Amino acid sequence: MRERKRIAIIGGGPAALVAADALAPHHEVHVYEQGRSVGRKFLVAGQGGFNLTNSADGPALAAMYSPAGFLNEALGAFGSNAFREWLSELGIETYVGTSGRVFPTKGTKPVEVLNVMRERSLERGVHFHLEHTFVGFDEHTNAIIEHGGARSSLAAHFTIFSLGGASWSVTGSTGTWSGHFAQLGIEVTPFRSSNCGVKIEWPGSFARDHAGKPLKNISVSAGDHSSIGEATITQHGLEGNAIYPVVPALRDAIANGTGALLHLDLKPNNTTDQLLQKIAGKEPKNYAAALNLDRATMALLKAFTTKERFHSPFAFVQDVKGLQLPVTALRPIEEAISTVGGIAPSELAPDFSLKRYASSPLAKWWTGMHQRAVSSCKAAIPWDGTPRMPYLNADRSPAGSFHAIPNSAAFASCFRTFNPARKFAALNATAWLAKDSSVPPSSRSIGWPSRAFSLSPSSWCMPG
């Protein structure tokens, strides 16, 4: 029988919960969360449409991530379809929306998905330690945990860091953890907004008249990124599911000073010729009705085109199919749905281990990053022996293998191994695996099992 390992998971978001779910049948799992409840950021996930993954799979899914190729193997082994199957096992059925996004069955709220994951973890014997904060590393690179004003070092066979990104800090995702890794000499990159709104200088009274209104079924592109979906007009610019996928191109353009332009196709299901036919012989004042364009869309067109173009049928249709909006900035990181940053990719070997430290042949960690939170958090699947992930089958792995597709759009921080006696791996800016079978718990260490908290349903709410 395989030896049960003691596994510490630090950070209690959805990445931690799926890792715990996968590990608990085989190991003694402890989750350390700084807040009074777990999954607080996930509970706000409903804002703007609660999707769980994208229907793209295989190479198409991998292509959604950067740097190119980095996650191909991980996503090839566990992609969107596998994730949906896993959700279905948990009783969460999903469907694919017109935008390609995958949603839970209508009416399912984030708290329900979170509850299912939490219940499964509790059933599987996971110990939850709330109000336990990771505050750095000791001289042996054990994680130090602070609780009730006292500090102790963690001694575990494996430690998974699933500390989230750096937005919506009220939910616990502060990103301050990256400083602890920087102190070890690991290169970390600053966190920046990823899935976020964009800033556009609205002319005149446009924002006052139209903020809050949606631009539905539009196609958006910037650089070589494009998407179809909905954007909401805000006081500051635009945001929404059609905007987020193109943010990387805009971020680069802003950083390079090359001019960030958003291209909107307000009628993606019609060709230019079709639109021209619909307005043929009509007065400009009747274009809106002819093309079924609402007031906000017409106001947007008027705001970003000239009178001459508006009165020329061909130029007008050209603008409907390709309206250009200059983007001046991304919205602040605190507002972002997800962030990029964390441990620099240059620190990582192809197997996501830290290049500067020797990796052990005894352990292998696979990490990855998924753009959508929950699917991205289907993490750490060691020793479950399921055929769908053959290379994760324990029977083929000498000492154990881990596959992790964690967290938010902030990939960037996976590593392992500080010294030959210890092996570590990180899942994006988020999760991190450590193996230390050689160091027994010291008198300063938190004992195993240490104080465990069970989660009551009432603890599953957003902080006020």
Where on the chain is the footprint of ligand FAD (CB under 6 A)?
10-16, 32-35, 40-42, 44-45, 47-52, 133-134, 162-164, 168, 172-174, 177, 337-338, 372-374, 377, 406-408, 430
Nearer to ligand FAD, 46 or 398 (CB): 46
Instruction: Provide, rounded to whole angstroms, the least separation between the CB of residue 15 and ligand FAD.
Output: 3
Nearer to ligand FAD, 65 or 168 (CB): 168
Nearer to ligand FAD, 14 or 79 (CB): 14
Instruction: Provide, rounded to whole angstroms, the least separation between the CB of residue 259 and ligand FAD.
Output: 29
Instruction: Provide, rounded to whole angstroms, the least separation between the CB of residue 33 and ligand FAD.
Output: 5
What are the distances in angstroms from CA 232 to CA 85, 113, 191? 32, 26, 25
Sign, CA torsion 266/268/269/275: positive
Nearer to ligand FAD, 363 or 373 (CB): 373
Instruction: Provide, rounded to whole angstroms, the least separation between the CB of residue 338 and ligand FAD.
Output: 5
Instruction: Provide, rounded to whole angstroms, the least separation between the CB of residue 58 and ligand FAD.
Output: 20
Nearer to ligand FAD, 41 or 321 (CB): 41
What are the distances in angstroms from CA 321 to CA 150, 218, 252? 61, 10, 24
**Could you tell me if 394 and 385 are in contact, meaning their C-beta atoms sit under 8 angstroms apart?**
yes
Instruction: Provide, rounded to whole angstroms, the least separation between the CB of residue 136 and ligand FAD.
Output: 9
Instruction: Provide, rounded to whole angstroms, the least separation between the CB of residue 344 and ligand FAD.
Output: 18
Nearer to ligand FAD, 216 or 263 (CB): 216
Nearer to ligand FAD, 250 or 427 (CB): 427
Nearer to ligand FAD, 110 or 382 (CB): 110
Residues whose CB is less than 8 angstroms from the CB of residue 101 and which lie 6 or more positions away in sequence, other chains included: 49, 51, 53, 54, 55, 229, 241, 372
Nearer to ligand FAD, 51 or 353 (CB): 51
Nearer to ligand FAD, 41 or 331 (CB): 41
Instruction: Provide, rounded to whole angstroms, the least separation between the CB of residue 368 and ligand FAD.
Output: 12
Q: What's the 3-state SS for the chain?
A: CCCCCEEEEECCCHHHHHHHHHHCCCCEEEEEECCCCCCCCHHHCCCCCCCCEECCCHHHHHCCCCCCCCCHHHHHHCCHHHHHHHHHHCCCCEEECCCCEEEECCCCCHHHHHHHHHHHHHHCCCEEEECCEEEEECCCCCEEEEECCEEEECCCCEEEECCCCCCCHHHCCCCCHHHHHHCCCCCEEEEEECCCCEECCCCCCHHHHHCCCEEEEEEEEECCEEEEEEEEECCCEEECCCCHHHHHHHHHHHHHCCCEEEEEECCCCCCHHHHHHHHCCCCHHHHHHHHCCCHHHHHHHHHCCCHHHHCCHHHHHHHHHCEEEEECEECCHHHCCCEEEEECHHHECCCCCECCCCCCCCCEEECCCCCCHHHHCECCCCCCCCCCCHHHCHHHCCCCEEECECCCCCCCCCCCCCECCEEEEEECCCEEEEECCCCCCCCCECCCCCCCECCCHHHCCCCC
Nearer to ligand FAD, 173 or 401 (CB): 173
Instruction: Provide, rounded to whole angstroms, the least separation between the CB of residue 34 and ligand FAD.
Output: 3
Instruction: Provide, rounded to whole angstroms, the least separation between the CB of residue 145 and ligand FAD.
Output: 8
CA 4 to chain centre: 30
Instruction: Provide, rounded to whole angstroms, the least separation between the CB of residue 190 and ligand FAD.
Output: 17
